[in-house]
Structure 1
Amino acid sequence: MRLRNVFLALAAATGLAAASLTISLAAVPAPQPGTLDRYDITGTYVSGLSSGGFMANQLHVAYSGVFQGAGIFSAGAYDCAQNSVATALNACMDTFTPRKTPAELEQLTRTRASAGTVDPVQNLSGDPVWLFHGNADQTVDRAVNDDLATYYRDFGARVVYNNNSAAGHAWVSPIGPNSCGSTASPYVNNCGTADPVREMLGHLVGSVAAPATSLTGKLVQFDQGRYAPGGNAAAISMGREGFAYVPRACESGPCKLMVTLHGCYQYFGLVGNALMDKGYLNEYADTNGMIVLYPQATTMTGNPRGCWDWWGYQSAQYPLKSGPQMTAVVAMVKALTSGQTTTPPTTTTTTTTTPPSSCVTASNYAHTTAGRAHANAGQTYALGSGQALGLWNTFVTSTIRQTSPGYWVKC
């Protein structure tokens, strides 16, 4: 299914040769409750698929002083959506309408860096970036993924772009349960001898040892609310639990950290441990000294498919350092790298400059593009309250007001 249909449903993300592979069938261990403890982390990277790919790019750009590289399956350039679900749908997945060019998004990034809302763009120069787009992927158009490659190259990143696979819209792993060209739950595909995970890790961290055939580490299940602004993960469309795979070797020695972000429909509450079990990261983590952090998004009003926020469904600050989901994930990283476990302060969410008591009359289309409402199956609903506003088009108007950040009601 094209992610375009997802949005219509909700509102409506130098390779290494793999000529021969030893395929591990090791199952991820059962999760055990715990906390994110401090480890000796020597480098931090981020990866993701689809909405998780867009989020991985946002994290890498906004916190380029924290992340040293990124691996991204099927996503577009930084802030392509411009806080608009319509733009996300029609320009940043499909390409029915114009989108910002890479050059325009690069200038936007420089402007934000000058204002301090994202880290200096100079940090991106020389960073390893690995990108993937399958030829059977009809969810995010190839041209959008090409923009991401251009964006990174223009900032001087060392980009490797795998765009010759027959894969559908999915994370691709030698032990994936789905066929290569599939786009279906749990969105982990098997393309035979191809091992994009090895390619990605090889580019990001250097040569990698063969994957483990049995896992020695532990899967820690932790409370994400501890890291969410205000201590409330659900309020920012993140799940109660997150997970971290910690190899035994990392308990006593230096290790790298990989943050891996799932796509829409792929969060733990829907597909269970599918990505953690079949994504093939833990097997490489075990033999290459790497902890894998698996934060979890979940559903909320405006996000019934559990996507990461890359178009502003939860906060207009979504691509900035102050973005609520961004600060939560970085707080998890800081817990693992420095032992800092304090909950970040509540982030002020601003979706419009309209005073809370003011009523705004506009077309339902304008309400959605301004972040005051969202569309679902052709109907419009006020952001936060979910009150029905009528058909999603430029002809039907409604009047709403904001009673608290991100919460709109009818006047």
Structure 2
Amino acid sequence: MRVRTVFLALGAAIGLAASSLPMSVAAVPPPQPGSLTKHEITATYVSGLSSGGFMANQLHVAYSGLFQGAGIFSAGPYDCAQNNLSTALSACMDTVLPRKTPAELEALTRTRASAGTVDPPQNLSGDPVWLFHGTADQTVKTAVNNDLATYYRDFGARVAYDNSSPAGHAWVSPIGPNSCGTSSSPYINKCGTTDPVRDMLTHLFGSVNPAASSLSGKLVQFDQNTYVPGGNAASVSMGREGFAYVPRSCETGPCKLMVTLHGCYQYYGLVGNALMDKAFLNEYADTNNMIVLYPQATTLAGNPRGCWDWWGYQSAQYPLKSGPQMTAVVNMVQALRDGSTPTPVPECVTASNYAHTLAGRAYASFGLTYALGSNQALGLWNTLTSSSLRQTSPGYWVKC
């Protein structure tokens, strides 16, 4: 009963929301194989909904020195899930279990900043943050979204919060294919004549020009393996293909960058270009000098719905700067900002502590195991205790 309901909710909880206007626009152009090249980026923002919204918040918090603001549809505060699926489902979407308060999560953020695993939260002060939660959205409960607003306000962000729309769990766009109150694939809704995308961009940028009625830019399809630590996107539940919409004006002049993260059941391998076509971002990109980066997650054991990692299904470091998905997205951003290509990070090797010692990746002392070179403690020396290690230089291994 409860378990089935909660898992159905997880599928939705990682979708998106939309708005509407009676208009017709050209479809997103067909993708052109290419790579992420250097552009003159003046500011970088992040947006997303549900799992993409949680991920957008993680990126904004962990890399607050890089991102200048965020637009989030239906999500909760930073690291609400605490590396626990049950907490994610029953406390950070539904509210049948207790969850960390915004104040507790703010203290956690400060502690992590002191350790250098996230940027200083003082950077969030003054940042524009736009939040959306529909009254028909039962996937992520209102109280959880309210916590996100409180978290940001307590750090001094300039928060605009639209919580009066009758929308379901979806990205709301003037050209969304679904009716306003629904929560179903492809999780892009239309709500009368409202345009939350315009509202979001106006709050983030200060003002926006009207959306284009046809698109003149190009959709670049690039290989995400290039930007993932270890060079294997599938290993961190990311798809091979990523996309970037580049307006013609951005080929030669300065532009803003918007990173947009899909929700569960919204990844390219399942719904194709639905979000890129109907989110109504490209239309504003053309008239407001804005590149839109669309990274892609995919399915993996423990992540059958293709969600972004906001509860630790892929790595316990998921909300930190060192999180594999976080690092990959930031590597994409840096490629667009300065043309850099990341140095491949060796893949993690997961094995029993006993196997690590046999392979020369670790050594044992008095029944305990330590990583060779770094001397990091790995726990008991036996075949039942496992660790993940990567080699950063010859004979030097560290925990992943």
- Contact kept, 8 Å, 2:173 with 2:197, in 1: the verdict is yes
Contact 1:331–1:343 under 8 Å retained in 2: no
Q: Which residue in 2 is equivalent to 1:179?
A: 179
Cα distance, 1:341 vs structure 2: 1.2
Q: Structure 1 residues 291, 303: closer, same or farther in 2, change over 3 A?
A: same
Verify the 8 A CA contact 1:331 1:344 in the aligned structure 2: no
Q: Is contact 2:212–2:287 with CA below 8 Å preserved after alignment?
A: yes
Contact 1:32 / 1:219 at 8 angstroms: preserved in 2? yes
Q: What is the aligned partner in structure 2 of residue 4 from structure 1?
A: 6
Helix, strand or coil at the partner of 2:53: helix
Indicate the residue corresponding to 2:37 in structure 1: 37
Aligned length: 355
The answer as to whether partners of 1:229 and 1:347 remain within 8 angstroms in 2 is yes
Aligned-pair identity in percent equals 76
- For 2:5 and 2:93, locate their aligned partners in 1 and report how far apart those are by CA, in whole Å: 7
Residue number among 362, 374, 386 corresponding to 1:402 in the alignment? 386
Given the alignment of the two structures, is residue 190 of structure 1 paired with residue 174 of structure 2, yes or no?
Answer: no
SS at match of 2:42: strand
Rounded to whole Å, the distance in 2 between the matches of 1:9 and 1:220 is 28
The answer on whether the counterparts of 1:227 and 1:328 sit within 8 Å (CA) in structure 2 is: yes
TM-score using structure 1 length:
0.82
Letter in 2 for 1:4: V
Note the C-alpha offset of 1:23.
2.8
Q: Which residue of 2 aligns with 1:72?
A: 72
The 1:210–1:24 alpha-carbon spacing in structure 2 relative to 1, beyond 3 Å, is farther
Q: CA deviation at 1:25?
A: 1.8
Corresponding residue number in structure 1 for 2:340: 340
Identify if the C-alpha distance between structure 1 residues 95 and 203 changes in structure 2 by more than 3 Å, giving closer, same or farther.
same
Q: CA RMSD in A?
A: 2.3
1:285-327 CA-partner distances (Å, limit 9, x unpaired): 0000000000000000000100000000000000000000000
Partners of 1:335 and 1:47 in 2: CA distance? 19
Residues in 2 aligned to 1:172 and 1:8: alpha-carbon distance in whole angstroms: 19
> Which residue pairs with 2:246 in the alignment?
246
Instruction: Return 5+ residue gaps in structure 1 as ranges.
Output: 359-398, 407-411
Give the distance between the partners of 1:349 and 1:108, measured in 2 at CA: 29
5 Å-filtered alignment, 1:11-410, equals 23-346=23-346, 356-357=353-354, 401-402=385-386, 404=388
Relative to structure 1, the CA distance from residue 347 to residue 113 in structure 2 (aligned partners, 3 Å threshold; closer, same or farther) is farther
Structure-1 separation of matches of 2:200 and 2:266? 20
Asked if 2 retains the 8 angstrom alpha-carbon contact of 1:6 and 1:305, the reply is no
2:272 and 2:21 mapped to 1: Cα distance?
Answer: 27
Distance in 1, matches of 2:387 and 2:70, equals: 38
Q: Give ranges in structure 2 of 5+ residues lacking alignment.
A: 356-382, 391-400
Deviation at 1:22, TM superposition (A): 6.9
Q: Secondary structure at the match of 2:230?
A: helix
CA drift of 1:343 comes to 3.8
Shift of 1:345: 2.2
> How does the TM-score come out when normalised to structure 2?
0.85
